[in-house]
Amino acid sequence: MKLYIKTLGGFDVKLNDESIFKDTNRSYKLYRLFQYFITFKNKKLLPESIIDNLWPDNESYDPKNMLRVQIYRLRQNIYSIVPEDIDISDYLEISFNNGYYSLSVRENTIIDIDVFEQLILNGDNIKSVDINGAINLYRSALEIYNGSYLEESPYELWLVPIRNYYRRLYLKTLFKLIEILEEKERYEDIIVLCEDALAIEPYEEAIHIYLMECLLKQGQIKSALSHYEYVTSIQSFEQVSVSSIAMKDIYNKIQNQYSVKGEIQISNMNNCLEDEDLTGPLFCDSTYFKFSYNLRKKKRKKISSDEDDYICLITLNKDCGKEELNKWTKQMKMTLEKSLRKGDIFTFWNDTQIIILLLDSNEYGPKRIKERIFANLASYMNEIQISFTKLSNEDHYLIDSII
């Protein structure tokens, strides 16, 4: 039989999942004293520290004796609320040794804050080898945090640092889990997570921003705008300022998405679909490149033209480490954006190779493109090989000879 003590989001003591504490007639002094001992469990406590923290305005002529009386009453109160066949010393025991009071917590007692911290620690320990296991552990920890530590005692000064500690730990774990889910593009899970978190931390700006960003990524533009309006409508929203840089940034994102992907009419569809920023080549991933290649190949079979399409392959013939490869990737992307024409398409096929699709070019086009690339390239000129093949030919022969 386990004794379970709940401290996050309300205080309760349960034995076999049944509350033995909520309905008891206890004095407020005993209630606070018991919470104090739970908070500093298994630690040596000076009588003077207990008195100063719990009763700073005490005017008793003998405060230590007053404390002894309160602890005696607390013991009796605890004994009275447990079943007669239960030995409370198997769960909790308040002792006094060498001038110190101490609450010993036995193995049969489970306190939610201990489970909360242990789940987070276990998640951190396995995150690098079992990310899904870590996700489950972080989720379980967040489910335990139902509110601030001993929130029924909001005005106790001695609780402030402890309460802040568990709140920070909760938010740190929440954001850690959100970042993991974001990498996996599990936006719906993040939305649910944020909605649950806002029920506990309604004034935490970062949670609102994560929620709105995920709504946008899910295409729920109206929901994102509605949530932003909700944030601005709360008069007491002191800790989430809509004038902050982060809130202004998310508002701009919502407005941009709304203007681009909001409801359109057939009369203005062309204006909505035009891409004003497409002034140079298109950089894309390999999947879209293959789609464009096959689409273009089919089209060329149906048309006759004096111009051709070409495939260009750029290969880095150099052994590089990760840092050097990152440098090559950035430099080549910048170079090709300067060198290629509007409508040309390029992608990084792998770490050391780039494929380019040159559209509607005459036979001298590849030579000019190669010259532009070398003219705009700051380095790697001696380490790269550039080859071209004509897309319109069924045999796709290389045409290095003309360049």
- Tens digits of residue pLDDT in 199-218: 999 989 899 999 999 999 98
pLDDT number for residue 304:
59
Most confident of 171-180, 240-249, 287-296, 375-384: 171-180
Percent of the chain with pLDDT over 90: 40
Angle between helix axes 160-183 and 131-144 (nearest 10 degrees) is 140
> pTM for the full model?
0.64
Q: What pLDDT score was predicted for residue 394?
A: 46
Tokens 């003077």 correspond to 48
Q: How confident is the model at residue 397 (pLDDT cuts 50, 70, 90)?
A: very low
Helix axes 160-183, 187-200, angle to 10 degrees: 170
Largest CA distance in the chain: 107
Task: Kindly report, residue by residue over 48-95, the tens digit of the pLDDT.
Answer: 999 999 988 877 788 899 999 999 999 888 888 788 788 888 899 999
What per-residue confidence (pLDDT) applies to 87? 85
pLDDT in tens, 18-41: 888 765 556 778 889 999 999 999
282-402 adopts what CATH topology? Alpha-Beta Plaits (3.30.70)
**Euclidean distance between CA atoms 168 and 385, whole angstroms:** 54
Tokens (6 digits) for 31? 């209630």
Which stretches of 157-311 are DSSP H helices?
Answer: 160-183, 187-200, 205-217, 221-233, 245-261, 269-273, 286-302
Provide the residue ranges of all domains of the chain, joining segments of one domain with +: 1-184, 200-274, 282-402
pLDDT band for position 280 (50/70/90)? confident
- Residue 252: predicted pLDDT: 85
For every residue of 190-215, DSSP letters joined together read HHHHHHHHHHH-TT-HHHHHHHHHHH
- Please report which confidence band the pLDDT of residue 398 belongs to, taking 50, 70 and 90 as the band edges: very low
CATH architecture of the domain 1-184 equals Orthogonal Bundle (1.10)
